[in-house]
Chains A and B, each alone.
Chain A
Amino acid sequence: GQQLNQSPQSMFIQEGEDVSMNCTSSSIFNTWLWYKQDPGEGPVLLIALYKAGELTSNGRLTAQFGITRKDSFLNISASIPSDVGIYFCAGRERNYGGSQGNLIFGKGTKLSVKP
């Protein structure tokens, strides 16, 4: 089935650095969502995007819905230790006749602290 390509797979951050990650698909999406998951917990919704070109912020997090509707980006500015975790992109594919609302997830970007 459809899969999202999320990159990078992992990255190390130093406190204060800016972080960028992205997600791409081979088909058009109507909705992009970004989640963060801590170990042993469920994903927590960070940002939701509904329109191509939309740029939305949530504190130090900023996400964009790509103009082509096939990609999305998440930036974290001035990272802090509690930003560590796994970030997932998720999208709702535009389809005709299929059920509404199902999300397709990327495999995640794991943020760790630089040793």
Chain B
Amino acid sequence: NAGVMQNPRHLVRRRGQEARLRCSPMKGHSHVYWYRQLPEEGLKFMVYLQKENIIDESGMPKERFSAEFPKEGPSILRIQQVVRGDSAAYFCASRPGPPTYEQYFGPGTRLTVT
């Protein structure tokens, strides 16, 4: 059973460009979470999605950031018009659903904005 997959692992964008990060959850998992991690910091929740629905986006900036988890295909985190402050590691996690709340993480995408 493959784990959570994320791609690309590394992404370099110039200021003003768009970044698209992809996450394929573990098989059988319908709940996806996106987190952001700065160096020497813990993970900060951004958004929680189920298939075709955003459940909680309270941790995601209102502007430039969006996320989706379509019926078919991976979950996408999109950052438009990137700025240097967007440079971070972005992790996706998935879980199967209640009653378990254990989240399994992908390897992350390291975004560098130049």
A102 and B55 alpha carbons, distance in the complex (Å) = 10
A83-115 CB contact bits vs B (8 Å, 1 = yes)? 000001010100000111111111110000000
The minimal Cβ–Cβ distance linking B61 to chain A, given in whole angstroms, is 14
Q: Are B103 and A41 in contact (CB under 8 A)?
A: no
Of the stretches A43-51, A54-62, A74-82, the one at the interface is A43-51
Report the Cα distance A102→B59, complex, angstroms: 10
- Cβ of A5 to closest chain B Cβ, rounded Å: 11
Number of A-B contacts (CB under 8 A): 67
Task: Give the interface size bracket for A toward B.
Answer: 20 to 34
Q: A48: which B residues are within 8 A, CB to CB?
A: 100-102
Determine if B22 is an interface residue (Cβ-Cβ < 8 Å).
no
Closest CB in chain A relative to B30 CB, distance in Å = 11
Q: Which of A42, A100, A101, A105 contacts B108 (CB 8 A)?
A: A42
B residues in contact with A31, CB < 8 Å: 101
Return A115 CB to nearest CB of chain B, in Å. Answer: 20
Chain B residues near A21: list those with CB within 8 A.
none
The listed residue (A30, A44, A107) touching B42 by CB distance below 8 A is: A107
Which B residues fall within an 8 A CB radius of A?
A: 4, 6, 31, 33, 35, 40-45, 48, 55-56, 59, 91, 95, 98, 100-108, 110
